[in-house]
Amino acid sequence: MFGLGVAACFVACGSDSNDSFEEDVIKEVALSQSSITLLLNEEDGSLTATPTVEGYSAADIVWTNSNPSVAEFDPVTGKVIAKEVGKTTLSARLKGRFVVSTCYITVSFVKVTGLTFDKYEINMMRSDSDSIAVTILPENACYKNVTWTSSNENLVKVVDGKLWANPKHDQLLNSGTATITATTVDQGFKAQCVVNVGQFSGIKYPQYPEKQQW
Protein backbone atom coordinates (compact mmCIF):
# COMPACT_ATOMS: atom_id res chain seq x y z
CA MET A 1 0.00 0.00 0.00
CA PHE A 2 2.82 2.36 0.89
CA GLY A 3 4.52 1.65 -2.43
CA LEU A 4 1.35 2.34 -4.36
CA GLY A 5 0.90 5.64 -2.52
CA VAL A 6 4.46 6.71 -3.35
CA ALA A 7 3.96 5.72 -6.99
CA ALA A 8 0.67 7.68 -7.18
CA CYS A 9 2.33 10.74 -5.64
CA PHE A 10 5.26 10.44 -8.03
CA VAL A 11 2.96 10.27 -11.09
CA ALA A 12 0.89 13.25 -9.92
CA CYS A 13 3.92 15.39 -9.12
CA GLY A 14 5.60 14.38 -12.35
CA SER A 15 2.48 15.36 -14.33
CA ASP A 16 2.32 18.86 -12.76
CA SER A 17 6.02 19.40 -13.33
CA ASN A 18 5.71 18.35 -16.97
CA ASP A 19 2.78 20.73 -17.60
CA SER A 20 4.76 23.60 -16.13
CA PHE A 21 7.76 22.67 -18.24
CA GLU A 22 5.66 22.58 -21.41
CA GLU A 23 4.25 26.03 -20.66
CA ASP A 24 7.76 27.42 -20.27
CA VAL A 25 8.85 25.84 -23.54
CA ILE A 26 5.83 27.19 -25.45
CA LYS A 27 6.54 30.74 -24.32
CA GLU A 28 9.70 31.26 -26.32
CA VAL A 29 8.29 34.73 -27.04
CA ALA A 30 6.41 36.31 -24.15
CA LEU A 31 3.67 38.70 -25.33
CA SER A 32 2.31 41.49 -23.17
CA GLN A 33 -1.25 40.53 -24.16
CA SER A 34 -2.90 37.43 -25.57
CA SER A 35 -5.88 39.34 -26.99
CA ILE A 36 -6.70 42.95 -27.85
CA THR A 37 -10.07 44.50 -28.69
CA LEU A 38 -10.05 47.83 -30.53
CA LEU A 39 -12.77 50.24 -31.63
CA LEU A 40 -12.50 51.55 -35.15
CA ASN A 41 -11.47 55.25 -35.22
CA GLU A 42 -10.49 55.12 -31.57
CA GLU A 43 -7.13 54.86 -29.76
CA ASP A 44 -4.52 52.41 -31.00
CA GLY A 45 -3.55 49.24 -29.15
CA SER A 46 -0.11 48.23 -27.86
CA LEU A 47 1.72 44.90 -27.90
CA THR A 48 5.24 44.14 -26.71
CA ALA A 49 7.24 40.93 -27.11
CA THR A 50 10.22 39.58 -25.16
CA PRO A 51 12.27 36.49 -26.10
CA THR A 52 12.53 33.99 -23.24
CA VAL A 53 15.28 31.93 -24.86
CA GLU A 54 18.81 32.93 -23.93
CA GLY A 55 20.83 34.49 -26.72
CA TYR A 56 17.84 35.93 -28.58
CA SER A 57 16.72 39.57 -28.75
CA ALA A 58 13.67 41.40 -30.04
CA ALA A 59 15.42 41.69 -33.41
CA ASP A 60 15.24 37.88 -33.70
CA ILE A 61 11.44 37.79 -33.52
CA VAL A 62 9.61 36.95 -36.74
CA TRP A 63 6.08 38.36 -36.94
CA THR A 64 3.11 37.18 -38.98
CA ASN A 65 -0.19 39.02 -39.38
CA SER A 66 -3.02 36.77 -40.62
CA ASN A 67 -5.19 39.67 -41.83
CA PRO A 68 -3.33 43.00 -42.13
CA SER A 69 -6.39 44.67 -43.69
CA VAL A 70 -8.08 44.46 -40.25
CA ALA A 71 -5.19 45.78 -38.15
CA GLU A 72 -1.60 46.84 -38.77
CA PHE A 73 1.20 46.10 -36.33
CA ASP A 74 4.53 47.90 -36.02
CA PRO A 75 6.99 45.64 -34.16
CA VAL A 76 9.36 48.57 -33.56
CA THR A 77 6.86 50.79 -31.73
CA GLY A 78 4.51 48.00 -30.64
CA LYS A 79 1.53 49.96 -31.96
CA VAL A 80 -1.56 48.11 -33.21
CA ILE A 81 -3.71 50.22 -35.54
CA ALA A 82 -7.31 49.23 -36.35
CA LYS A 83 -8.09 49.47 -40.06
CA GLU A 84 -11.51 47.82 -40.50
CA VAL A 85 -13.99 45.68 -38.58
CA GLY A 86 -12.92 42.06 -38.28
CA LYS A 87 -10.38 39.76 -36.65
CA THR A 88 -6.72 39.00 -37.16
CA THR A 89 -3.99 37.05 -35.38
CA LEU A 90 -0.49 38.31 -34.67
CA SER A 91 2.01 35.45 -34.38
CA ALA A 92 5.57 35.70 -33.10
CA ARG A 93 8.41 33.16 -33.19
CA LEU A 94 12.17 33.26 -32.94
CA LYS A 95 14.33 32.93 -36.06
CA GLY A 96 15.21 29.33 -36.74
CA ARG A 97 12.65 28.07 -34.24
CA PHE A 98 9.05 27.00 -34.65
CA VAL A 99 7.28 27.63 -31.32
CA VAL A 100 4.69 30.36 -31.93
CA SER A 101 3.09 32.83 -29.52
CA THR A 102 -0.14 34.46 -30.62
CA CYS A 103 -2.23 37.54 -29.87
CA TYR A 104 -5.80 37.70 -31.16
CA ILE A 105 -6.95 41.11 -32.41
CA THR A 106 -10.64 42.02 -32.68
CA VAL A 107 -11.74 45.29 -34.26
CA SER A 108 -15.33 46.37 -33.61
CA PHE A 109 -17.17 49.65 -34.13
CA VAL A 110 -19.52 52.08 -32.41
CA LYS A 111 -22.95 51.85 -34.05
CA VAL A 112 -25.03 54.87 -34.97
CA THR A 113 -27.94 55.40 -32.57
CA GLY A 114 -29.67 58.32 -34.30
CA LEU A 115 -29.35 61.63 -36.11
CA THR A 116 -30.77 65.13 -35.73
CA PHE A 117 -31.20 68.20 -37.95
CA ASP A 118 -30.54 71.81 -37.03
CA LYS A 119 -33.91 72.68 -38.62
CA TYR A 120 -37.04 70.72 -39.49
CA GLU A 121 -38.95 73.23 -41.61
CA ILE A 122 -37.64 75.72 -44.17
CA ASN A 123 -39.42 78.40 -46.21
CA MET A 124 -37.74 79.24 -49.53
CA MET A 125 -38.39 81.37 -52.59
CA ARG A 126 -38.11 79.66 -55.97
CA SER A 127 -34.49 80.59 -56.63
CA ASP A 128 -33.27 80.38 -53.05
CA SER A 129 -30.69 78.03 -51.62
CA ASP A 130 -30.32 76.82 -48.06
CA SER A 131 -28.73 73.99 -46.12
CA ILE A 132 -29.43 71.47 -43.38
CA ALA A 133 -26.78 70.50 -40.84
CA VAL A 134 -26.97 66.93 -39.57
CA THR A 135 -25.58 65.55 -36.30
CA ILE A 136 -24.85 61.83 -36.03
CA LEU A 137 -25.28 60.16 -32.64
CA PRO A 138 -23.22 59.17 -30.77
CA GLU A 139 -20.34 61.53 -31.45
CA ASN A 140 -17.83 58.66 -31.74
CA ALA A 141 -19.93 56.59 -34.16
CA CYS A 142 -17.65 54.97 -36.70
CA TYR A 143 -19.73 55.14 -39.87
CA LYS A 144 -21.24 58.62 -40.28
CA ASN A 145 -22.19 58.39 -43.95
CA VAL A 146 -25.65 59.79 -44.79
CA THR A 147 -27.79 59.51 -47.93
CA TRP A 148 -30.10 62.37 -48.91
CA THR A 149 -33.38 62.28 -50.85
CA SER A 150 -36.05 64.77 -51.86
CA SER A 151 -39.69 63.83 -52.32
CA ASN A 152 -39.84 66.28 -55.25
CA GLU A 153 -36.49 66.87 -56.92
CA ASN A 154 -38.02 69.22 -59.49
CA LEU A 155 -39.12 71.49 -56.65
CA VAL A 156 -36.20 71.07 -54.21
CA LYS A 157 -32.86 69.48 -55.01
CA VAL A 158 -30.62 68.22 -52.19
CA VAL A 159 -26.94 67.24 -52.26
CA ASP A 160 -25.17 66.49 -48.95
CA GLY A 161 -27.60 68.73 -47.07
CA LYS A 162 -27.37 71.64 -49.53
CA LEU A 163 -30.78 72.71 -50.89
CA TRP A 164 -31.80 74.44 -54.11
CA ALA A 165 -35.40 75.51 -54.77
CA ASN A 166 -36.61 75.11 -58.36
CA PRO A 167 -33.23 73.78 -59.55
CA LYS A 168 -34.26 73.80 -63.24
CA HIS A 169 -35.34 77.46 -63.00
CA ASP A 170 -38.75 76.61 -64.43
CA GLN A 171 -40.79 79.72 -63.83
CA LEU A 172 -44.00 77.82 -64.68
CA LEU A 173 -43.50 75.45 -61.77
CA ASN A 174 -46.09 76.02 -59.07
CA SER A 175 -45.14 76.51 -55.46
CA GLY A 176 -45.32 73.50 -53.23
CA THR A 177 -43.78 71.39 -50.49
CA ALA A 178 -41.01 68.82 -50.57
CA THR A 179 -39.80 66.54 -47.80
CA ILE A 180 -36.04 66.16 -47.42
CA THR A 181 -34.92 62.89 -45.83
CA ALA A 182 -31.51 61.93 -44.50
CA THR A 183 -30.76 58.27 -43.76
CA THR A 184 -27.69 56.92 -41.98
CA VAL A 185 -25.89 54.19 -43.91
CA ASP A 186 -25.22 52.44 -40.60
CA GLN A 187 -28.43 51.28 -38.87
CA GLY A 188 -30.74 53.23 -41.21
CA PHE A 189 -31.88 56.02 -38.89
CA LYS A 190 -33.87 58.80 -40.59
CA ALA A 191 -34.62 62.49 -40.08
CA GLN A 192 -36.88 64.68 -42.21
CA CYS A 193 -37.27 68.36 -42.98
CA VAL A 194 -40.26 69.97 -44.72
CA VAL A 195 -39.35 72.61 -47.33
CA ASN A 196 -42.03 75.08 -48.43
CA VAL A 197 -41.36 76.81 -51.74
CA GLY A 198 -43.12 80.18 -52.28
CA GLN A 199 -44.83 81.54 -55.38
CA PHE A 200 -42.21 84.09 -56.32
CA SER A 201 -38.92 83.61 -58.14
CA GLY A 202 -36.77 85.26 -55.51
CA ILE A 203 -38.07 88.83 -55.95
CA LYS A 204 -37.79 90.74 -52.69
CA TYR A 205 -40.43 93.42 -52.51
CA PRO A 206 -39.56 96.54 -50.49
CA GLN A 207 -41.38 97.13 -47.24
CA TYR A 208 -43.20 100.48 -47.09
CA PRO A 209 -44.08 102.15 -43.79
CA GLU A 210 -47.69 102.50 -42.89
CA LYS A 211 -49.42 105.73 -43.97
CA GLN A 212 -49.15 108.51 -41.49
CA GLN A 213 -52.32 109.79 -39.89
CA TRP A 214 -52.85 113.49 -40.54
Closest CA to 182 of 174, 190, 171: 190
- Asked whether residue 122 falls in the same domain as residue 179, the answer is yes
- Asked whether residue 69 falls in the same domain as residue 84, the answer is yes
Among candidate residues 77, 108, 139, the one where a domain is terminated: 108
Q: How many CB atoms lie within 10 A of CB 171?
A: 9
pLDDT tens string 106-142: 999 999 999 999 999 999 987 889 999 999 999 989 9
pLDDT tens string 8-49: 333 334 444 444 444 445 689 999 999 999 999 888 999 999
Per-residue pLDDT, 174:
67
Domain that holds residue 127: 114-197
- Give how far Cα 200 sits from Cα of 48, 63, 84, 123, 174, Å: 69, 69, 50, 12, 9
Considering the domain boundaries, does residue 203 fall inside one?
no
- Asked whether residue 101 falls in the same domain as residue 128, the answer is no
pTM over 0.85: no
Report the domain count for the chain.
2
Mean pLDDT comparison of 9-13, 164-168, 182-186, 206-210, highest-scoring range: 182-186
Average pLDDT, the chain: 84
- Asked whether residue 89 falls in the same domain as residue 133, the answer is no
